[in-house]
Amino acid sequence: MSAVTERIVALGAGRMGRGIAIAFAYAGHEVTLLDFKAREAAACEKLLAEAKEDIRASLSGLADLGVMTGADADRVLGRIAFAGEARAGDVLGRATLVFEGVPETLDAKRDAFGRVCALAPADAILASTTSTILVTDLAGMVAHPERLLNAHWLNPAYVIPLVEISAHAGTDPAVVARLRGLLESIGKVPVVCGPAPGYIVPRLQALIMNEAARMVEEGVATPDEIDKATRYGLGLRFASIGVLEFIDYGGNDVIYHASGYLAGAVSAERYALPGIVDGFMREGRNGLREGAGFFEYGGRDVAAYRKDVLARTLAMLGHFGLSRPPA
């Protein structure tokens, strides 16, 4: 648990706000789901009631799968408060951490942050959850930009552990460290990246999804076969070993030659070789077997490392029920 007693607000009662509320409540935190849009009282009550029932259904689904009991689900739900815009002053006035999840437009963000800054304490951390607007474009919207960063969660937020944190040049490093520590304390796996379009995961997965769609379009394979290849090949592999770790493990020459072949056979633009790989080849940084690539391997017990990679992969085979004894 965090050393600070956090008063957490999920701003916006949509899918992301609900998922974040569950994630923190599951870990024992009190959290408020705040509908920040001005509505008639009846409309606000209806939306919040729907949000509560949706969260209850999500928790019941976890209970049905044996993740927790029904009593646990009730206890988690009890940690989530639901509030409408009329109570924003009271809710935000006590907040130490606000996750902004309003619609993905600059106007909506500007309006939300303007109102949040007028109501929340000056030292409250403001974490946008945007997936399409860079934190550098949001910094000018807040009164204390040193408290602003972006925390990009992957849906469903209460299940997927990864959270991508990106800061702008003026973000206080202590704010990044505090948010990272809090996320780790609730079982998340935060990674820090620069304020670049697509962050890490969306940028990688967009390429994969587009290429999979093209293969269907070109008649390379059926959707079922492509998805099977993704789950039991690509997905299993990269659940066991990181992408750059995998390049080093097999050798940079593999991606070097594969890119050259696919650039000529499929698309020179889509399979153009990154300059960093070309540079590694010229410098002799060919990965694990040369002692350096994207990572440094000097002094590492290579045999033990290879055994660890194999153990990780075998664990994933067991997860999929594909591990078998010899005939």
Position 3 pLDDT exceeds 80: no
Q: Which pLDDT tens digit goes with each residue over 59-81?
A: 999 999 999 999 999 999 999 99
Fold of 8-193: Rossmann fold (3.40.50)
Domain ranges of the chain: 8-193, 201-319
- State residue 4's pLDDT score: 58
Would you state the pLDDT for residue 1? Answer: 39
Across the chain, what does the average pLDDT equal? 96
Q: Nearest CA to 204 among 158, 164, 233? A: 164
Residue with tokens 């520590």: 181
Query: Considering only CA atoms, which of 282, 284, 307, 287 is closest in space to residue 298?
Result: 287
Dump pLDDT digits (tens) for 282-302: 999 999 999 999 999 999 999
Q: Which amino acid is at 284?
A: G
Are 131 and 121 in contact by the 8 Å Cβ rule? The answer is: no
Alpha-carbon span 277 to 60, nearest angstrom? 48
DSSP structure class, residue 162: E
Give the gyration radius of the chain's Cα atoms: 23
Q: Name the band, by pLDDT with cuts 50, 70 and 90, for residue 259.
A: very high
**What's 201-319's CATH class?**
mainly alpha
Tokens describing residue 40 = 């008639």
Residue with the two structure tokens 């304390």: 185
In this prediction the pTM is 0.93
CB contact at 8 A, 148 and 168: yes
The whole-number pLDDT of residue 5 equals 79
